[in-house]
Amino acid sequence: MLSAITAFIITSGARLITGARALWLGCTAQPVQRLYYANHSSHGDFVLLWASLPAELRRRTRPVAGADYWQKDGIRRYVINEVFNGVLIDRERSSPEANPLQPMLDALDEGDSLIIFPEGTRNLEDGLLPFKSGLFHLATARPNVELVPVWIANLNRVMPKGRALPLPLLCTLSFGAPLEHLPDEDKTAFLERARNALLALAPEEN
């Protein structure tokens, strides 16, 4: 009960502060298992994307997050585990033999959708950083899961680094068409195609 109330407060607050609009440009908001991959410019990215999904989709959509950050204290552990039901990954590779993608593969096998950021770290500049290879390996291992690009616009400007109060700017989340699965495509070509599909959703600067 407490986790549901906390989720309502967080999602309502995120939408209120940002005035977030979800634009379903290439797909519809339907309960299909998906891997939503997005640009990453703020710690609030996955919160806003998750909050922008209809309640039915939110219940089966889990953000992927770094265990090193979210396990630091009790509040973070509660939020990521009980509120967002996040999938935590070991970015520090404490066990070299372990497959860092395994928690995500397990979640997909349970029927959940995921939110991931293939740049791997926050990008405070325009455009996109090169994609890490994890997106390719997930897509190859689970080809029946839809890969949907999502461009998050303006969130880094709403709460820029070092500012205590948010700026009154509208955030939009543009959901593109699912990426077509090409069985014989190599990693380099796939990552470039996935990156271009995401960049194509970015709004043009005035």
pLDDT digits (tens, 9 = 90+) for 32-52: 999 999 998 776 788 889 989
Question: Mean of the pLDDT values across residues 140-153?
Answer: 95
Q: What is d(CA 171, CA 48) in angstroms, rounded to the nearest whole number?
A: 9
Confidence class of residue 187 from pLDDT cuts 50, 70 and 90? Answer: very high
Split at pLDDT 50, 70, 90, the class of 159 is low
Give the pLDDT confidence score for residue 157 in this predicted structure. Answer: 54
Distance CA 118, CA 134 (A): 7
Confidence check: pLDDT of 205 > 70: no
Contacts 24+ apart (CB under 8 A), 136-142: 136/187, 136/190, 136/191, 136/194, 137/101, 138/35, 138/101, 138/104, 138/105, 138/108, 139/35, 139/179, 139/181, 139/190, 141/101, 141/105, 142/35, 142/105, 142/108, 142/109
pLDDT category at 206 given cuts 50, 70, 90 is very low
Fold of 2-199: Glycerol-3-phosphate (1)-acyltransferase (3.40.1130)
Q: Which residues are CB-contacts of 123 (< 8 A; sequence separation ≥ 6)?
A: 39, 40, 41, 129
pLDDT at 24: 96
The pairing of beta strand 146-153 with beta strand 172-175: antiparallel
* Confidence class for position 66, pLDDT limits 50, 70, 90: confident
Instruction: List, for residues 118-136, the tens digit of each pLDDT value.
Output: 988 776 667 788 999 999 9
pTM score, two decimals?
0.88
Lowest mean pLDDT among 13-22, 27-36, 136-145: 13-22
